[in-house]
Amino acid sequence: MDKFPFAVRLAGFPREAAQALETTLRAAPAHGPQYFCLSEHSLQEPDLVLAYGPDLKAMAELSAQADVPGELDLRPALVLGQPAAPLPYPGLPLAFDPGAFHIQLALLVARRADALARLAGEGLPPIPERRRMPRLDFDLTDPAEYEAMRGKSRRGAVLVVDGGGRLAAQASQLMKPYRITVLAASDEASALAAGAEAPLSVVLINTSLPGIDAYRVSAALRAQADAQPPEVVLVVAPPFKYDGKRGRAAGVAGLLDKPVADATLRTVLKRQMHIA
C-alpha cells in the first residue's frame, strides 16, 4: 500500500534557506509524519505551508487566507522568522531547533486532520482549492477576466502514458462518475496513435517510463491536435528533474509527485478539464 507523505509549500524563502528546509524536512523522525516539498510547478494542493516571515508577499497571502472562516485549521501554516505584522499563525525563529520544528509540524498535521474529519462527519464537501493566483486586498481586476480564466468544460478523453497500467486504472476509476474515457499508452508511438484517433482533454505522462522523452511527447501530442490541444501533466519521481524552460516550450501544464493520492488526481483532472 502506498504511503503518502505530506505535501509542503515553501512561500517566500530565499533559495539557500529553501534548500536547507528541504533537507530538514527529509530528516523528519521515522516515527512521525513524513514530508516532501512541492515544486513551484506542482499542480498539487499543499497540506502545510511554511512561510518566510520577512517576505511581504508571503505574509500578505497568509493574511488574506486567515480571514476565511476555517482556513486556519484546514490550511495550516508555520511562519519562520519575524513577520512585519502579527498573524494568527504559529511561528518559530529562523534559527530553529529541528526537534521543536518537527513537533510543531506534527501538531499542524493533527490539527488539519481533525478539521477534515469534522467536515466529513458533518457531511460537508471537501475544502475548496487554493486559488492559483491569490486575490489580495484592493484587487481591481475585472471579474470578467477571472471568469475567462476558468475556461469551458472539456469532455475529451484522458490519455495515460504509463508502462504498468496502474495509473491508467486509477484515472479510469476516478473519471467513471463523469463519464470520461481513459485511454492507455505504453510508449511515444502508441501515445501519438491514441491522440490521432480521439480528442484528448488531458494527458498524464509517467516520466519514469523507460525511454520516454516527456517534453517531446507533450509537444507532439499538442501539435497534432485538430482543435484545442490537451493539457499535459507530468507524473514525476526522483531522480527526475523538471526543466521549466523545456516544459513551457512543450506546453506542460505542471507536475504531480508519485505516488498520487486519489483525491489529488481527481482534483487535478477536474481542474484541467474545467468540470465541477
- Between 200 and 141, name the one with better pLDDT: 200
The residue written with cell numbers 491508467 in the block is 168
CB 43 within 8 A of CB 233: yes
pLDDT band at 69 (very low <50, low <70, confident <90, very high): confident
pLDDT one-digit tens code per residue, 11-26 = 999 999 999 999 999 9
Instruction: Reply yes or no on whether the pLDDT at 36 is more than 70.
Output: yes
For cell 481527481, what's the residue? 266
The CATH number of domain 151-273 is 3.30.390.50: no
Asked whether the predicted pLDDT for residue 151 surpasses 70, the reply is no
255 within 8 A of 39, measured Cβ to Cβ: yes
Distance in angstroms between the alpha carbons of the first and the last residue of the chain: 29
pLDDT score of 53: 96
In the chain, % of residues over pLDDT 90: 73
Mean local confidence (pLDDT), 189-214:
95
CB of 204 closer than 8 Å to CB of 162 = yes
Per-residue pLDDT tens digits for 95-146: 999 999 999 999 999 999 998 888 888 776 666 555 444 555 555 555 555 4
Task: Quote the pLDDT of residue 66.
Answer: 86
200-206 and 157-161 as β-strands: parallel, antiparallel, unpaired? parallel
What percentage of the chain carries pLDDT values higher than 70? 88
64 pLDDT higher than 70: yes
Report, as an integer, the average pLDDT of 69-76.
Answer: 87
CA-to-CA separations, 235 to 23, 34, 71, 188, 253, in angstroms, rounded: 22, 20, 28, 15, 11
The model carries a pTM of 0.84
- Asked, colleague to colleague, whether 6-121 and 151-273 share their fold, the answer is yes
Domains in the chain: boundaries: 6-121, 151-273
Sorting pLDDT into bands at 50, 70 and 90, what band is 2? very low
Average pLDDT along the chain: 89
pLDDT at 38: 95
pLDDT at 68: 83
Q: Which residue blocks in the chain are alpha helix, DSSP H?
A: 15-26, 56-66, 71-74, 98-121, 143-150, 166-175, 188-197, 214-224, 244-250, 262-273
Q: Tell the CATH topology of 6-121.
A: Rossmann fold (3.40.50)
Cα 107 from Cα 90, distance rounded (Å): 10
Tell me the pLDDT tens digit for each residue of 156-188: 999 999 988 899 999 999 999 999 999 999 999
Residue with cell 518566510: 52
Which among 236, 228, 182 is positioned nearest to 205, based on CA atoms? 236
Q: Given this model, what pLDDT does residue 4 score?
A: 74
pLDDT tier, 8 (very low <50, low <70, confident <90, very high otherwise) = very high
Q: Is 152 helix (H, G, I), strand (E, B) or coil?
A: coil
pLDDT of residue 146: 46
- Overall average pLDDT of the 235-248 stretch: 94
Q: CA 246 to CA 215: how far, in whole Å?
A: 7
Confidence band, pLDDT 50/70/90 cuts, at residue 33? very high
Per-residue pLDDT, 148: 54
